[in-house]
Homo-oligomer: A and B are copies of this chain.
Amino acid sequence: MSTIKPPTMKDVAKAADVSLGTVSNVINGVPVRAASRQKVEKAIEELHYEVNACAQGFRKSKSDMIALIIPDTLNPFYGAFTNYVAEAVYARGLKLLLCCSHEQISNELSHLNLANQNKVNGVIALTYSDIGAYISENIPMVVFDRFFENRNIARVGSDNFSGACLAIEKLLEFGCKHPVYIRFHSIFPGESDKRRDGYLYACEKYGLEPDYLDMVDCGEYKGLLKKFIEDHKLPNGKLTFDGVFAHTDFHGYHFMRILQQEGYRVPEDVQIIGFDGIGKFGHAEDPVISSVCQPIRQLAEKCVESILEKDRSAVPSLTLLPVTYRYGGTTLDPKT
């Protein structure tokens, strides 16, 4: 067990015959005389010196890490968001501390504690509870996709309201006369509630009778979807609706499966547009259904940008990014 201790800045200083401060300056990009710089660089090279990030973090009370609190990375949407946050973080020379909460408030809080204890530069959170109150005042935080009012924490998300309108407009454009809305939502209020508001607004705007399923997500969605179909069946077997705006791709997809099981054709009898933009092999790969896509990469970028903004008064309290429609086989898009 001959564990050789790695060289320190002191060793470098000695080898380069300069002072500790000079070595520090070279490493941190502080202007230094060319001759000294070269001596130091040579010594670093020869000794294979590497900064001790722990010591640095300790001294500066900053670990140069960003903590991402997210339910999991199994869900393709979360996986994609995590991926793009990571990219944005690396691009700024920082590290990513990944905190999966599995939607447990207790985990969210303990991870928040961890973030505090580790002196992270900031935390990006996609949480199921209003955890903002628990974070240290002096750690920048931004919440993504889940908005809790009554708190002064920066929020970043997609323009859900416009997205819902876009979905309805597309369905109408593709020939639907009676689009319905299917929603299973968390018991926690969030920004995605605006999708319902957008649906209602679009109905009013286009003179449609609102007709929608609005349930708390309970795992029993399949039965409820079947019942919804039953309730909308005419005596001749036809359905009273011909279009579906689904709150998420997941529910849109499963609704499609059930419709098909019952003998209806998608998109010929019923067209479906979901929300999120999930692909079968990860984001942006082979869409699962036609969908209103969230700009995940840009959302991640905005979150990191907002965390790193030095002038905290300059970060917008709300940033809403535009969404786009993408064909995914469940709609009758005209061949353009």
Interface centre among A50, A58, A76 (most CB of B within 10 A): A76
Residues of B within 8 A of A97 (CB): 65, 95-98
Contact A282 B82 (CB under 8 A): no
Which residues on the B side are within 8 Å of A288 (C-beta)? 280-281
Shortest distance from the beta carbon of A137 to any chain B beta carbon, whole Å: 8
Q: Does A47 contact B (CB under 8 A)?
A: no
Contact residues in B for A53 (Cβ distance below 8 Å): 114, 117-119
Assess whether A250 is in contact with B281, with CB atoms less than 8 Å apart. yes
Tell me the A49-101 residues at the B interface (CB within 8 Å): 50-55, 57-58, 61, 63, 65, 72-76, 78-80, 82-83, 86-87, 90, 95-100
Shortest Cβ distance from residue A216 to the other chain B in the assembled complex, whole angstroms:
19
CB of A3 within 8 Å of the partner chain? yes
User: A interface, how many residues as a size bin?
Assistant: 35 or more
B-binding residues in A (CB < 8 A): 3, 6, 50-55, 57-58, 61, 63, 65, 72-76, 78-80, 82-83, 86-87, 90, 95-100, 102, 107, 113-114, 116-119, 136-138, 249-250, 253, 278, 280-284, 286, 288
Instruction: Tell me if A79 and B87 are in contact (CB < 8 A).
Output: no
Contacts of A76 in B (CB 8 A): 74, 76, 79, 281-282
A–B pairs, 7, beta carbons within 8 Å: A50-B113, A53-B118, A74-B282, A95-B114, A96-B98, A249-B281, A281-B288
Residues of chain B within 8 A (CB-CB) of A3 are 137-138
The 5 closest A-B pairs by CB, nearest first: A79-B79, A58-B58, A74-B282, A53-B117, A98-B98
Kindly report which residue of chain B lies nearest to residue A86, judged by CB atoms.
B100
Q: How far is the CA of A250 from the CA of B280 in the complex (A)?
A: 9
**Nearest chain-B residue to A5 (Cβ)?**
B61
- Contact between chains at B79 and A74 (CB < 8 Å): yes
Separation of A80 and B281 alpha carbons in the complex (Å): 12
